[in-house]
Amino acid sequence: MYGPENSIAPLEGITVVSLEQAVAAPFATRQLADLGARVIKVERPGAGDFARGYDETVKGLSSHFVWLNRTKESLALDLKTERDRDVLQRLLQRADVFVQNLAPGAAARLGFGAGELRERRPELVCCSVSGYGEGGPYTKKKAYDLLVQCEAGLVSVTGTPETPSKAGISVADIAAGMYAYSGILSALLRRERTGEGASVEVSMLEALAEWMGFPAYFTMYNTRQPPRTGASHSAIAPYGPYGCAGGETVFLAVQNEREWERLCREVLGDAGLATDGRFRTNTLRVENRRELDRELERALADLAVSEAEARLDAAGIANARLRDVRGLLDHPQLAARDRWREVGSSVGPLAALLPPANLSGHEPHFGSIPAVGEHNAKILAELGLEARS
């Protein structure tokens, strides 16, 4: 799958300086580091990125921080001081990319706004990640993941009919980080062709609004928005969890009429169900979901979950077991594909997953997770400056 470890990494020679904290920007820059970029993470002296203090679960380290910050170099700077602002300005004279996700306007007030930086160095790629973007009534509004999920309408379509729920992961941060990552790559590709850098702006709200495309169009051209359906699908049936013998559950998904017919004939043993007037089309099945679910649960109730899975697989019907997080960690597919590696840290080696994009000829280099200011002496020496005592 991967080539020799000494092959040229896609972003080898690219230096990224990131004034970052929490999730969105660190997620973007970690992926740049996975591709071989040198990522210098600028943190506050002492406590550093506040995500370091979210928990102490990973042998005393924060689970968020371990996930998002491998391979980076940590430079601790107090940007309230002229001396440390000068250090960052010097560093940016050598950088290819500058990323920041400070509070709205904070980077510009410190002298690190994209316009000012690119006026001096037009070839620089500057990426700003914010909650709601520049301009408009929400420019200065505080934006945390849950709150953006609410503003984007995600919470209104997630959960059970009775209870709206947020996503179980930081989906607004992750969406923004993914668009920052791809936006930076696009800007670097254009720079290779034109020599010109770019200002890339990503907001969490707009990133998540893109991911809300299905419910947005459904609502725009309908009289109502998609209902909350728990683990089922608001617009496809059958789709979701169904009980089997012994209290176990199988999840299945039917995407078209051919699959519906095969499910009835080969799994449920009732070919006539496929042409039942209540269930002939997906729209009818959604309208009559309760009756449909009763038919499926009646047919599956006496099957062990392993037998139900075997029948579904043989019929070509997509299915899954509900795994918890430990089930993901122990997933046989991840093990079979050799997806786990190790990274170094101040508390010893830690497990890490390979990036999802498998690039032939490139084995990602997993560097250690840095301590706050661990690389100050090295980076300051490169700039011809003395490390502070």
Nearest in space to 37 (alpha carbons), one of 77, 95, 87, 80? 95
In this prediction, residue 37 has a pLDDT band, given cuts at 50, 70 and 90, of: very high
Q: What is the CATH number of the domain that holds 180?
A: 3.40.50.10540
Q: Angle 171-194/24-34 helices, nearest 10 degrees?
A: 50
Nearest-5° Cα angle at 116, 110 to 119: 155
> CA 8, CA 250: separation in Å to the nearest integer?
45
Q: Do 193 and 155 lie in a common domain?
A: yes
Rg for the chain (alpha carbons), in Å?
25
Final residue before a domain boundary, out of 279, 297, 322: 322
233 tagged catalytic = yes
Average pLDDT of 225-242? 89
In a domain, residue 86? The reply is yes
247 shares a domain with 189:
no
CA distances to 14, 149, 164, 353, 385 from 211, in Å? 30, 11, 18, 24, 46
For the segment 48-72, the average pLDDT, to the nearest whole number, is 95
Do both 178 and 45 map to the same domain? Answer: yes
Q: Report d(CA 235, CA 106) in Å as an integer.
A: 43
Segment 105-128, tens digit of pLDDT: 999 999 999 999 999 999 999 999
Task: Report residue 173 CA to chain centroid gap.
Answer: 7
Say whether both 33 and 81 belong to one domain: yes
The catalytically annotated residue of 64, 233, 362, 375 is 233
∠ Cα 165 154 31 (to 5°): 105
Contacts of residue 157, Cβ cutoff 8 Å, sequence gap at least 6:
212, 215, 225, 226, 228, 234
Other C-beta atoms closer than 10 Å to the C-beta of 123 total 12
| Mean pLDDT computed over 165-174 | 95
Domain span including residue 359: 15-212+331-382
Give the confidence band of 319 by pLDDT, cuts at 50, 70, 90: very high
Confidence of residue 324 (pLDDT cuts 50, 70, 90): confident
Question: Is residue 56 domain-shared with residue 110, that is, in the same domain?
Answer: yes
Q: Are residues 127 and 245 in the same domain?
A: no
Query: Residue 235's pLDDT band (boundaries 50, 70, 90)?
Result: confident
Residues 190 and 102 in one domain: yes
Same domain flag for 109 and 31 = yes
Q: Are residues 64 and 186 in the same domain?
A: yes
Say if 244 falls within a structural domain: yes
**How many structural domains is the chain composed of?**
2
Q: What's the whole-number mean pLDDT along residues 143-155?
A: 95
Residue 360: pLDDT band by 50, 70, 90 thresholds?
A: confident
Residue 199 falls within a domain, yes or no?
yes
Mean pLDDT, rounded, for 159-180? 95
pLDDT per position as a tens digit, 327-355? 999 999 999 999 999 999 999 999 999 99
Where among 322, 346, 367 does a domain terminate?
Answer: 322
In sequence order, which residues have a C-beta less than 8 Å from that of residue 54 and are 6 or more positions away?
62, 63, 64, 65
Q: Give yes or no for residue 172 having a pLDDT over 70.
A: yes
pLDDT (0 to 100) of residue 349: 95
Work out the mean pLDDT of the chain and round it to a whole number.
Answer: 93
User: Do 244 and 130 lie in a common domain?
Assistant: no
State the pTM of this model. Answer: 0.89
Give yes or no: residues 361 and 311 share one domain. Answer: no
How far apart, in whole angstroms, are the C-alpha atoms of residue 253 and residue 266? 15
For residues 211 and 175, the answer to whether their CB atoms sit within 8 Å is yes
Q: What is the pLDDT of residue 387?
A: 72
Q: Which helix (DSSP H) or strand (DSSP E) does residue 127 occupy?
A: strand 125-130
Q: Are residues 138 and 31 in the same domain?
A: yes
pLDDT higher than 80, residue 2: no
Do 218 and 226 touch, CB atoms closer than 8 A? yes
If we measure between CA atoms, which residue out of 337, 321, 343, 361 comes closest to residue 10? 361
